[in-house]
Amino acid sequence: MNCNFLKLLPGFGSVSVPAASSSREMPRSIKQLLAETLEDLSKENLDKFVFQLLDRRQEPQVRRCRVEGKSRLEIVDVLVSTFTEDQAVHVTDEILRSIGCNQQAEKLFQIKHIILHTQVQLEMPPKTAKKILSNKLEDLSTENFKKFRNELVDRKDGVKMSQVEDKDYMKVSEVMINVYTERKALKVAEEILREIRCQQDADELVEEAKTAGLCSAADGSSDEEHFVDRHRDELIQRVTAVPPILDKLLKAKVIQNETYDEIMLLRPSQAQMRRLYGDVQGAGRSAKDIFLQILKEQQRFLIDDLMKK
């Protein structure tokens, strides 16, 4: 590893970098970094690592059958597919420290920053919408990719089950680009990712779309009007069960307790929705995304009807 390069990074000028093997090149990807980190562990420490991984109580959890008796590379695949690459590094760092492998944890964290810094500095041509979409679908777990395909068909706005059933991420991406425009396909993908609770994947998709000069539904600079703004009047008139929506907005910290209490005192439901709109508008586009997600959960048929317009 080039220690002088590390000193160029903010906050790393005085960091002592663990020496890397002279016969090993610095890893060029997060996945390779994770593989080499586990490779450096003794058999005893690897067993401790697997034990702690299975003992995690936070979601998502890893099943015993996926890692017990598996190779280091197979464990890395499980880490990356269960979490995102970035989150897999955090989980690995956390477990390494818990089993006393602090030097490996420090090395992991430091090299991760070098890799990310190097990737940012590389002057690569912008990715196409198809590439962005296929990469993100490839990152999904098998379960979430299946959910994605089902939600895509359930939208009933162009994609048929016969086009995506049992198809891989490349084919699904191709179908979406053909059925929608490139920008519309990214927007649809983002909406579905949020609907199946893959929020981080949706955020990463948006950032990549921005970098490539493509617009996504959550891009604050997009000229496209947000769904909840476009259908404001109809939502105010047709949403009658407001309290469950308020409960979820409060839990998501889009509104505060005081606002919640004030809206609950209003009558009828149209007055509650008008007041709620004022608070959501003031909280910005991310709040509107959360508001829309809750509406999809609470008012599924109404939202489906409005999406067809």
What does residue 286 show for φ and ψ, rounded to 5 degrees?
-60, -40
Amino acid at 111: I
Q: What is the C-alpha to C-alpha distance for residues 118 and 43, in angstroms, rounded to an integer?
A: 32
pLDDT of residue 288 exceeding 90, the answer is no
pLDDT tens by residue, 43-87:
999 999 999 999 988 888 899 999 989 999 999 999 988 888 878
Rounded to an integer, the average pLDDT of 123-132 is: 74
How much is the pLDDT for 220?
A: 40
Angle between helices 269-283 and 285-298 (to 10 degrees): 140
Contact 59, 141 (CB under 8 A): no
pLDDT of residue 238 exceeding 90, the answer is yes
What architecture is the 3-121 domain classified under in CATH?
A: Orthogonal Bundle (1.10)
- Is the CATH number 1.10.533.10 carried by domain 129-211? yes
Signed CA dihedral, 86, 288, 253, 247: sign only: negative
pLDDT tens by residue, 156-197:
778 889 999 999 999 999 999 888 888 888 988 998 999 898
Rounded to an integer, the average pLDDT of 284-305 is: 88
Q: What is the DSSP string of 259-273?
A: HHHHHHT--SHHHHH
How much is the pLDDT for 119?
A: 57
| CA R_g for the chain | 23
Among 3-7, 95-99, 299-303, the range scoring the smallest mean pLDDT is 3-7
How much is the pLDDT for 17?
A: 43
Domain ranges of the chain: 3-121, 129-211, 227-307
Looking at every residue in the chain, the average pLDDT score rounds to 82
CATH fold, domain 227-307, is Death Domain, Fas (1.10.533)
pLDDT of residue 208 exceeding 90, the answer is no
